[in-house]
Structure 1
Amino acid sequence: SSAAVYSSAVVSSAATPSATSSPSTGGTKRGLAYNDASLTTCFEGDNTISWAYNWAQTSSGLNSKFEYVPMLIDLRDQFTSTWETNWKAALKSGSTNFMSFNEPELPAQANLTPKVAAAKHIVYMNPVKAAGGRVASPSVTNGDATQGYGLGYLKAWDIECAGQCDYDVVNIHWYDSATNIQYFKDHVTEAHTQSGKPVWLTEFAATGSDDQVATFLKTVLPWLDEQPFVEKYSYYMVADGKLVSGTTPSTIGSVYASA
């Protein structure tokens, strides 16, 4: 299934890279989430954006200006069977960061218990770390932690890992109203506080008018850039009607590239 369906309407999501918190991530924290690499070309001149990912294992034509970040989205054989070959090729070609499972607490996404996600992280992601890559935890939504979603799932996963899961950062998503800026800041901060790890916010989006979303971005992007524990973030997503309009940045895309 297309990555475009991933998380677009779900309860939550979130993270990205910084020169201050990790020398391996390069220039800026800001990244792009895409399905069609050709749509990212309108951002190639923006030095605010340094990396990109497509919920996949190969970049499908992404410009080498951006660091490509591979993901092992879930445990279907079509993904696990190619993972070792693809992560090794990506590492060799300059990728330094790698993502684990996508929203495993959601039945419509990776759909894994914390126990299975921990066991399989050890199998598939620990070798990436051992080979010199930097590895993220499974990405989680901003759903109700008390019901086993989001940061509650992440905590349960870490317990199941029993110290055996090699990972460098926690990967979170966030979806909510553009007016809930304090909730956004609190959630990103809590992910770091709970885990003691840097944060990647690899999906986030705000609902509201273009003006409200622009105000949200102009407020939270500088805040994300200022937080030493935030390494990477990417707004959802490079698609028509979202960060792009046709082949040029949308109103929101222009704010994202410049704020």
Structure 2
Amino acid sequence: MVQTSVLLALAAFTGLMEASPISRRSGSGKRGLAFPKQFKGQAGSQWTKYFANSQVSWMYDWEAVIDGEAVAGVEYVPLLHSNQDWCTSGWASNVAAARQKYTVENILSFNEPDQVGGGGSNVPVDQAVIAHQKYIQPLASQGLKIGSPAVTNGGEDHKGISYLKNFMAACQGCQFDFVVAHWYGTANADEFISYLKRFHDTFQKPVWVTEFGVNPGQGDANAFLKAVLPFLDSTEWIHRYAYHMAAPDTDGKSYLVNSAGNGLSATGVTYAGF
């Protein structure tokens, strides 16, 4: 009887382990995955599996729908890419569907409305305010935390910090639980850190860095990551961050997956925390 009881207990424990979400390595809980919904005709979610049992705790794909199956046990953060109809027409239903399938606690507003091309949505401040109030702000009443539009680190009057200051001043009655920064430059950790400090000093809110990376030919991305990850993890006002991006190295760009697409790049291993 004792032997039978032990076997039954072991079987129950094994079944529980199989049904449980993936475990994560200990870390700050800030590290996220930015992966493309589609990448060269393939579902970008396929590469998230390489981050199982890593320090990654959340993910997003610049939209509110994931093609394919993403890694389990990781929070998903929907994003309204722009005010165009292809983004807004299914927004509410897509967010509702995502909440049925994934843990969803936060919402991201427009992607680089201060930029034309390069993934930017190019939305003037006045139009962005109207769309944010219509599509994003109502989700605050559902208990979701709301992020600002993600802006570039461009220094012109109509870009970056300047754009976001104008947007937030005009968005009367809007709830912003955190502000969102993007940064690209040389592999100079001090420049990156200095910019984020200025970003935080300007808005005095928690900061998410949902895109950052080293421009092609401007330094060692892996060494850069090793230099900045301790700052990101230890700085209280940095709430989350995501390196660009979980996809295969291509066209001289250093991403988190190797060029063959069958495992992590050296930068990916550093980012995963293995």
Question: TM-score scaled to structure 2, two decimals?
Answer: 0.79
The aligned counterpart of 1:157 is 167
CA distance in 2, matches of 1:191, 1:34: 24
Task: Return the match for 1:173 from 165, 182, 198.
Answer: 182
Structure scoring higher RCO (CA < 8 A, sep ≥ 6) equals: 1
The aligned counterpart of 2:153 is 142
Cα shift readout 1:116-160 (whole Å, capped 9, x = no counterpart): 11121111111111111111100000001x422111111111111
Secondary structure of the equivalent of 1:136?
Answer: strand
CA distance in 2, matches of 1:199, 1:91: 23
CA deviation after TM superposition for structure 1 residue 27, in Å = 6.2
Asked if 1:51 corresponds to 2:55, the answer is: no
The aligned counterpart of 1:244 is 257
CA distance in 2, matches of 1:32, 1:66: 9
Asked if 1:183 corresponds to 2:186, the answer is: no
Secondary structure of the equivalent of 2:115?
Answer: coil
CA distance in 2, matches of 1:102, 1:235: 15
CA distance in 2, matches of 1:37, 1:85: 21
Gaps of 5+ in 1: 1-25
The aligned counterpart of 1:3 is none
CA distance in 1, matches of 2:248, 2:92: 32
CA deviation after TM superposition for structure 1 residue 192, in Å = 1.5
CA distance in 1, matches of 2:71, 2:223: 30
CA distance in 2, matches of 1:224, 1:122: 31
Task: Pick which of 33-42 and 54-63 moved more.
Answer: 54-63
CA distance in 1, matches of 2:220, 2:230: 16
CA distance in 2, matches of 1:196, 1:114: 21
Task: Return the match for 2:80 from 52, 72, 78.
Answer: 72
Cα shift readout 1:144-178 (whole Å, capped 9, x = no counterpart): 1x42211111111111113x222211111000000
Q: How many corresponding residue pairs?
A: 230
The aligned counterpart of 1:215 is 223
C-alpha RMSD of matched pairs (Å) = 1.9
Secondary structure of the equivalent of 1:138?
Answer: strand
Counterpart AA for 2:145: R
Identity across aligned pairs (percent)? 36
Cα shift readout 1:79-109 (whole Å, capped 9, x = no counterpart): 1011111222333442101111010011222
CA deviation after TM superposition for structure 1 residue 206, in Å = 1.3
CA distance in 2, matches of 1:208, 1:74: 27
Gaps of 5+ in 2: 1-26, 37-43, 250-254
CA distance in 2, matches of 1:76, 1:70: 16
